[in-house]
Amino acid sequence: MNRSRYWALLFALVLLASALVWVGGQRRVSAGTIQPDRSSLALVPAQATSLFGLDLDALRATPLYATWQQRNPLGKHDPGYDEFLARTGFDVERDLAAVTGAAWNNGAQPALLAVATARYDPAALSAFLKEKGAAVEMYGNVELLAPDGRHTKPGQDYPALVVQLPDRPNTILAGTSTAVKQALDLRAYPAYSVLNNQALLGLAQKIGAENQVWAVSVAPGSFLSQRLPQAPGPAAAAQANIMRILQGLQASTVAANASNGLRLLAEGACASPEDAQTLADAARGLLAMLRLMAPANQPQAIELLNALHIEQQQSKVTLTAAIPLQLLEELAQKPDLLLPHSHSHAHPQAQSRPHR
């Protein structure tokens, strides 16, 4: 099978994985659950339909992060970042502690918001960004910065950043300007925050505390189906049916734990058992085809595909993965291992890699 068809199938697998990753949330954990920062959630509007969290301080303590950081140091050979660090004292890789994010539909446009806690000098960061051309819009007594130096037409959203909150010196707001303004308004109207959205918070409260990355969503289907890219070539024929299934997705949870390799869990409920069966079968089929097409001299690609497991029970579909740290290190050293070659063919021995 040629290279273009391989990539078309890989795209379709990513599409299905996206559905699974954003769907789920019924499994309980026994070792404690995450505790999202309530002061950050207090800045998220109640109409949020998706929440996510990254505990960056905890993530930095994992072997996986250490491996990634060694190979991808932030700002390496970048004079611009060196200047940013020297002028602001803000080392993003060191000083960004946690991020809580949210998304929802604001009419026909998506609203996106990130609330970050960090160790930094707000005045120094603000001065540096304005010196580099960030435009300023005053919203009450708060500066909204447009880092690209321009606003859109009146009434339209633009990427906005708040780095100086009078009552929150360690908080950065980023997102679409409408969402950032809503977050600022909630300081005076806390009853309208996502803290009173029990449906969404209930999903988050089922995620195990061992996870450094998590995301939850209610009715994610419409948000996803409107924003997933058009599938190319052979995968386009299956996309319409996948989109129909996405429209019926009801809730979502995903969790990632990098403490020992990488463990992923995503569970979800489709609108019906038939839709769940269709989604699970399509994903399994694509995984099987990719395994067969993997070149015989790339056992790491086979091992990565074999780490993905898809199950279906009634209207629920579950995706799990346990990827060893050694495999992740090998893939980081040779990222081209995942690139298919048109002249390569799968070989049965490619699936017989020694057990780790």
Residue by residue, pLDDT tens for the chain (356 residues) are 444 444 444 444 444 444 444 444 334 434 588 888 999 999 999 999 999 999 999 999 998 888 777 776 655 567 888 899 999 999 988 999 999 999 998 877 889 999 999 999 999 999 999 999 999 999 999 999 998 766 656 667 889 999 999 888 899 999 999 999 999 999 999 999 999 999 999 989 889 999 999 999 887 665 555 555 665 565 565 556 666 666 667 787 899 999 989 999 988 778 889 988 887 887 788 788 878 887 777 788 888 888 989 999 998 888 899 999 888 888 777 655 555 444 444 444 444 444 44
Residues spanned by the domain of 140: 37-194
Secondary structure of residue 117 in the 3-state scheme: strand
Last residue in a domain, options 163, 194, 225: 194
63 and 178 housed in the same domain: yes
Nearest CA to 261 among 309, 311, 332, 208? Answer: 332
Rounded to whole angstroms, how far apart are CA atoms 137 and 156? Answer: 13
**Partners of 213 in the β-ladder:** 54, 256
Please report which residue ranges of 112-220 form alpha helices under DSSP H: 122-131, 177-185, 198-204
Q: Which residue has the tokens 């994010």?
A: 101
Instruction: Say how many domains are in the chain.
Output: 2
Shared domain for 53 and 186, answered yes or no, is yes
Q: For the whole prediction, is pTM greater than 0.85?
A: no
Asked if residue 83 and residue 56 are part of one domain, the reply reads yes
125 and 23 in a common domain = no
Burial status of residue 38 (CB atoms within 10 A of its CB: 0-12, 13-18, 19 or more): exposed
Q: Please give the Cα distance from 189 to 192 (Å, whole number).
A: 6
Residue-wise pLDDT for 155-198, tens only, equals 678 899 999 998 888 999 999 999 999 999 999 999 999 999 99
User: What is the pLDDT at residue 297?
Assistant: 75
Chain centre distance of CA 240: 24
Q: Helices (DSSP H) in 132-235: which residue ranges? A: 177-185, 198-204, 221-227
